[in-house]
Amino acid sequence: MREIVFDTETTGVNPAGGDRMVEIGCVELINRCPTGREYHAYFNPERAMPSEAEAVHGLSSIFLSDKPLFGAACEELLDFIGDAPLIAHNAGFDFGFLNNELALCGRDSVCLSRMICTLVLARSKHPGAKHSLDALCTRFGVDRTARVKHGALLDAQLLAQVYVELTGGRQIGLSLVAELGDGGLQASGSATVVASTPRAVRPARPHAASLDELAAHTQFIARMKEPLWAAVGTA
């Protein structure tokens, strides 16, 4: 199963009010394992970067001034994500900005049925705990020492590890739940573990003692003095 974990950085929190997406990072998972395929891009938001937002991600108006507009790069992004489910932390926020950018360049929105929110998963699995990405990395032992500021690709890489832990852990491929596929038995999320054609039924093989063996056993028993089972039988 192919899934895409992604994160965005923006100029603010309200796409309807004119805030824009300035960075996106995507990590491909196949059967909950990172494949090494990633997509990362910066975009010129065609507006000034508020100081509050720059303090979060460190992306300045000067840095973004020579970056492509979203519309010029969206085809490559759409090709990468394909029709896979899209995973994000507080996913409604990221979907809102992604679909706003798509709408601004006349493209169809990404259907919300593809959305998987790790914040919702975390709240369901660990109610009452802290659910920020930093807190979840700490909970699951994910190394976040490189996360000095928010960055879309780095955060997507961290979130991919958190998502795996939230949905079964690093050994999810060892699940004993299995499905019968063409030509063999398959473990969920893993490669074929048994591949065989139906075996011919063999008749039962006789294992009874021979007459000579029975006679030898009788003679052996007869030589035993006061066997324990005889005492039990007369008790």
pLDDT at 130: 95
Would you mind telling me the total number of residues written for the chain in this entry?
Answer: 235
- Catalytic annotation present for 150: yes
**What pLDDT digit, counting tens, does each position of 132-184 carry?**
999 999 999 999 888 878 999 999 999 999 999 999 876 544 444 444 444 44
Superfamily of the domain at 2-168? Ribonuclease H-like superfamily/Ribonuclease H (3.30.420.10)
Which tokens hold the place of 128? 């009452």
pLDDT greater at residue 119 or residue 178: 119
**Domain layout of the chain by residue ranges:** 2-168, 175-199
**pTM to 2 decimals?**
0.71
Catalytic entry in 126, 131, 150, 217? 150
**What pLDDT digit, counting tens, does each position of 21-67 carry?**
999 999 999 999 999 999 999 999 999 999 999 999 999 999 999 99
pLDDT at 171: 54
Long-range contacts of 64-71 (CB under 8 A, 24+ apart): 64/22, 67/22, 67/41, 67/42, 67/43, 68/41, 68/43, 68/44, 69/43, 69/44, 70/20, 70/21, 70/43, 70/101, 70/104, 70/105, 71/104, 71/105
Q: CA angle, 19 as apex, 18 and 24 as ends, to 5°?
A: 140
